[in-house]
């Protein structure tokens, strides 16, 4: 029997996290091409904008929009501001296209090994799957990227901070995801790589939480599971072993907690945020 009814995932650092594949652009490469992609699309819409002027407008608007909008900052709103600053008179339809060009691609090679097999296994076991992500990418860009790497069909609900003006670890963001997915009141596990945003945030609304281990270290016993290989997460969620071939061992927790997994429903009070 599954431990949970629903699993939500963070995106960057949890699903994506391998950026050294030979011949594949890195996130830094993609970001470096932003102004060029936007300039090329503007030219297609008949707007001949000087590249240096465009780059200055992007820099100003990125800074001002992020400060003014806070969690509601996303690339749709950024591109609307850039178009207004340059006097282009474009509406939200073109701004959305510019936002997609600004965001650029995400590559399948960036996914952690076994990511699609993990999602396929959980979905086949009857789990409802979703995404809760802090991101300036608008929903249409995130969904396009997930579709491009073959993951979109697995996620019944995706909630993105820039779209709704909320971000992790705000409890309202997690509650919104549960409500719009129809999973409120069910057994929910949230999976992420940030102790503060993902683990503390999820446990603050009464969910269980699993930490993908990274160079940042473990959870100090705050997560219900710490894992480094997708098979460890699947076994924890569905309670059935998967093949251990080529599986990397997980990092043990602090002394006294190694190998312990709290059962769903046994809650520790969330620690106060400093």
pLDDT 10s digits, 141-195: 999 999 999 999 999 999 999 999 999 999 999 999 999 999 999 999 999 999 9
Question: Hunting for tokens 């603050």 — which residue is that?
Answer: 204
Question: What pLDDT is stored for residue 249 in this prediction?
Answer: 40
- Do residues 171 and 109 lie in contact, with contact meaning Cβ atoms separated by under 8 Å? no
In angstroms, the CA 121 to CA 15 distance is 15
Neighbours of 107 (CB within 10 A): 18
Q: What are the residues whose beta carbons fall under 8 Å from the beta carbon of 217, sequence distance 6 or more?
A: none
Global pTM value:
0.87
Specify the pLDDT at position 157: 98
Q: What distance in Å separates the CA atoms of residue 264 and residue 158, rounded to the nearest whole number?
A: 23
Q: Are strands 128-133 and 208-212 parallel, antiparallel or unpaired?
A: unpaired
Percent of the chain, pLDDT > 70?
A: 88
| CA torsion, ordered 192, 249, 238, 212, to nearest 10 deg | 0
């Amino acid at each position: 029997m599954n431990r949970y009814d629903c699993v939500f995932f963070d995106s960057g650092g949890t699903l994506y996290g391998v950026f050294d594949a030979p011949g594949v652009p890195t996130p830094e490469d993609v970001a470096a091409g932003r102004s060029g992609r936007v300039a090329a699309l503007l030219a297609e819409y008949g707007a001949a904008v000087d590249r240096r002027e465009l780059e200055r407008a992007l820099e100003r608007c990125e800074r001002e929009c992020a400060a003014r909008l806070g969690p509601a900052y996303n690339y749709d709103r950024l591109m609307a501001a850039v178009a207004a600053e340059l006097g282009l008179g474009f509406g939200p339809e073109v701004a959305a296209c510019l936002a997609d060009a600004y965001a650029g691609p995400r590559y399948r090679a960036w996914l952690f090994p076994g990511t699609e097999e993990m999602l396929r296994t959980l979905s086949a076991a009857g789990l409802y799957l979703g995404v809760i992500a802090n991101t300036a990418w608008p929903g249409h860009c995130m969904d396009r990227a997930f579709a491009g790497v073959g993951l979109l069909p697995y996620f019944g609900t995706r909630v993105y901070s820039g779209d709704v003006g909320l971000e992790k670890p705000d409890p309202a963001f997690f509650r919104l995801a549960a409500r719009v997915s129809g999973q409120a009141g069910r057994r929910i596990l949230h999976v992420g790589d940030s102790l503060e945003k993902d683990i503390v945030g999820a446990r603050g609304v009464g969910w269980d939480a699993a930490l993908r281990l990274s160079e940042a270290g473990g959870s100090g016993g705050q997560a219900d599971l710490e894992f480094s290989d997708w098979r460890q997460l699947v076994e924890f969620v569905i309670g059935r072993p998967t093949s251990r071939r080529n599986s990397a061992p997980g990092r043990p927790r602090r002394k006294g907690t190694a190998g312990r997994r709290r059962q769903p429903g046994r809650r520790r009070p969330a620690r106060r945020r400093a």
